[in-house]
Amino acid sequence: MKSLTKVKVGNKLNSNNESFSYIKNSDVEIYNILQKEVSREDNTLELIASENFVSYPVLEMAGGVMTNKYAEGYPGARYYGGCEHVDEAENLARDRAKKLFNCEYVNVQPHSGSQANMAVLMTFLNVGDTIMGLDLAHGGHLTHGSHVNFSGKLYNSVSYYVNKDTGRVDFNSVRSTAKEYKPKLIICGGSAYPRHIEFEHFREIADEIGAFLMADIAHPSGLVAASLHPSPMKYCDIITTTTHKTLRGPRGGMIMMGKDIENKWGIVAPKSGRTKLVSELLDSTVMPGIQGGPLMHIIAAKAIAFNEALQPDFKVYAQQVIDNAKTMSEALLSKDYKLISGGTDTHVVLIDLSNKNVTGKVAEQSLEKAGITVNKNMVPFDKRSPFVTSGVRIGSPAITTRGMKQDEMVKIIDFIDEIITNIENESVIDKVKTEVQSLCSSFPLYSELHN
Ligand code: DSN
């Protein structure tokens, strides 16, 4: 992987060697806010499992002129003129994604993972149909059927759970709930699940009841791309992902199919009504079904990120992401922390703080004061509300992009433990904060952006 600090960049420096000079000269108010965020990202340890740092080329493209272009439609069939170059960019993004994930169909237009999931649900289901996903508190996602989300409001949603002892998906629960409620669509994957998603087991159960199977690989998609997590392509009818987590691209979503499938269910497309292939249905649900103009600057930035992920050094990065998460897990276990599922196979570590008598909320706040960014997270069978929680989720993608390895992971867990065992002790927080800043300064981020 190219070091972020060595790739030449994006946001051009002016003659005074200042970055963001155009913003500074035209709008100092937002410039000051931007500078604070640049500094925050540089001087804190980003342990939110769903975040990462894009390369300079991705950053440059995401801030580029393609933001100006309206391109409703798809390459070769747009509703606007002047689309020849954005067509090329979208085709390139699709081709690279197909190569990266070894799949036949890709739609790179979803603005986010939630929109990708919405497009799938709206393609395959009628309002009121039953869906089944992993319960939110057990590691699922809002769009997998939570009652506060469209997926739980428009559809009849039932959940499966993890096993209380193992912290892993309980396939007895998946099978019995599937047989009882006969969901039309089963969703596998989640946002706080530290283990591999077992696509094959889900496929068996989906086949037993004749359900569609959707995989949401938003979290591990970079690991899937690097062949360090099983691929869903063979087992799942539809696959969705975000592009900005372990995949390290710009913020956005994507829908894939290993093989396009014939529309044998007679589903009618929202606009065209053409019903031959599921790919046509999905495209037409994304646009005009739920979105208008695609974000062409982001689609072009996705193309860059996919190309980066196709390079051999991305696999080295992805392996380091896993090694770093495993090192953090082992260091936490050695300090008597309780981990959901006892560890990790991926980039995610979910810590249950109950035995430390600290809530997720307080831990998140104290760690943030020390410059360590995590998110409070429900743990399976949590008795606390989502606003308080008993756990925190940590992850390794962003700190690995900065170049940190196992030695740094051990230090980071020492910092976290010092804060948790001296919770809300301001002098300990100050001491750790100094150490965090010193560690961050050894792994500078976007150094070209500094004045
Ligand atoms: N917000 C994402 C995460 O943190 O995992 C899921 O959408």
252-261: per-residue pLDDT in tens? 999 999 999 8
305 SS3 class: helix
pLDDT, residue 9, reads 37
**CA 50–ligand 1 middle distance (angstroms):** 6
pLDDT at 271: 59
Q: Catalytic residue positions? A: 70, 72, 216, 242, 245, 251
Question: Do 83 and 66 touch, CB atoms closer than 8 A?
Answer: no
Q: What is the pLDDT of residues 323-362, one digit of tens each?
A: 999 999 999 999 999 999 999 999 999 999 999 999 999 9
> For ligand 1, what atom is nearest to the CA of residue 143?
7
**Where are the strands (E) in 12-86, listed by range?**
45-46, 73-74, 77-78
pLDDT of residue 424: 86
**Mean pLDDT, residues 265-287:** 80
Contacts of 416 (CB under 8 A, 6+ apart): 332, 367, 372, 394
Res 13 pLDDT > 60 = no
Judged against a pLDDT cut of 80, whether residue 434 lies above it is answered with yes
Per this entry, what is the length of the chain? 451
- Say if CB 250 and CB 58 are below 8 A apart: yes
The pLDDT, as a whole number, for residue 261 is: 87
pLDDT in tens, 45-58: 999 999 999 999 99
Q: What is the mean pLDDT of residues 182-191?
A: 98
What is the residue with the minimal CA distance to atom 6 of ligand 1? 191
| Higher pLDDT, residue 19 or 89 | 89
Probe residue for ligand 1, chosen from 118, 191, 193 as the CB with the greatest number of ligand atoms within 8 Å: 191
pLDDT digits (tens, 9 = 90+) for 366-414: 999 999 999 999 999 999 999 999 999 999 999 999 999 999 999 999 9
Burial of 18 (0-12, 13-18, 19+ CB in 10 A): middle
* Model confidence at 274: pLDDT above 50: yes
* The pLDDT of residue 8 is above 60: no
The structural domains of the chain, ordered by start, are 66-309 (3.40.640.10), 315-449 (3.90.1150.10)
Among 164, 101, 131, smallest CA distance to 309 is for 101
Mean per-residue pLDDT, 285-296: 96
**Nearest CA to 360 among 423, 429, 409?**
423
pLDDT attached to residue 266:
75
Angle at which helix 28-43 crosses helix 426-441, to 10 degrees, equals 90
Q: How confident is the model at residue 2 (pLDDT cuts 50, 70, 90)?
A: very low
Q: Which residues line ligand 1 (CB under 6 A)?
A: 50, 113, 141, 191
Instruction: Give pLDDT, residue 5.
Output: 37
pLDDT of residue 275: 67
pLDDT at 3 over 60: no
Question: What is the tens place of the pLDDT at every residue in 301-322?
Answer: 999 999 999 999 999 999 999 9
Q: What is the mean pLDDT of the chain?
A: 94
pLDDT at 448: 61
DSSP result, 225-291:
HTTSS--STTT-SEEEEESSSTT--SS-EEEEESS--B-TT-PPPSSS---SBHHHHHHHIIIIII-
Question: What's at 223, amino acid-wise?
Answer: L
pLDDT above 80 (res 440): yes
Query: For residue 244, which amino acid is it?
Result: H
